[in-house]
């Protein structure tokens, strides 16, 4: 059992060595994209919600 646990952690170390981490610039650009897309989706959801709410008020 001890050998399996040691092998498991050795495999983790090997896999982590294969990881390519983003540079600061890549991380910054990705963060900007995520923030902009989040704002766009939030605004779209707000517009649809407000429109449907007003439509239901008009019907009822």
Q: What is the pLDDT of residues 6-49, one digit of tens each?
A: 999 999 999 999 999 999 999 999 999 999 999 999 999 999 99
**Residue 14, domain member (yes or no):** no
Q: Which domain, by its residues, includes 36?
A: 22-60
Domain tally, the chain: 1
Task: Identify whether 15 is part of a domain.
Answer: no
Q: Specify if 37 maps to a domain.
A: yes
pTM for the full predicted model? 0.66
In a domain, 33, yes or no: yes
Instruction: Please state, in angstroms and rounded to a whole number, the distance separating the CA atoms of residues 43 and 35.
Output: 12
Is residue 4 domain-resident?
no
Cα separation values, 8 from 4, 12, 29, Å: 6, 6, 35
- Residue 35 forms part of a structural domain: yes
Q: Report whether 30 contacts 22 (CB < 8 A).
A: yes
């Amino acid at each position: 059992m001890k050998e399996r646990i040691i092998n498991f952690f050795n495999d983790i170390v090997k896999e982590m060595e294969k990881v390519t981490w983003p540079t600061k610039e890549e991380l910054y650009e990705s963060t900007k994209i995520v923030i902009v897309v989040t704002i766009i989706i939030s605004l779209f959801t707000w517009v649809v919600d407000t429109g449907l709410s007003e439509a239901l008020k008009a019907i009822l």
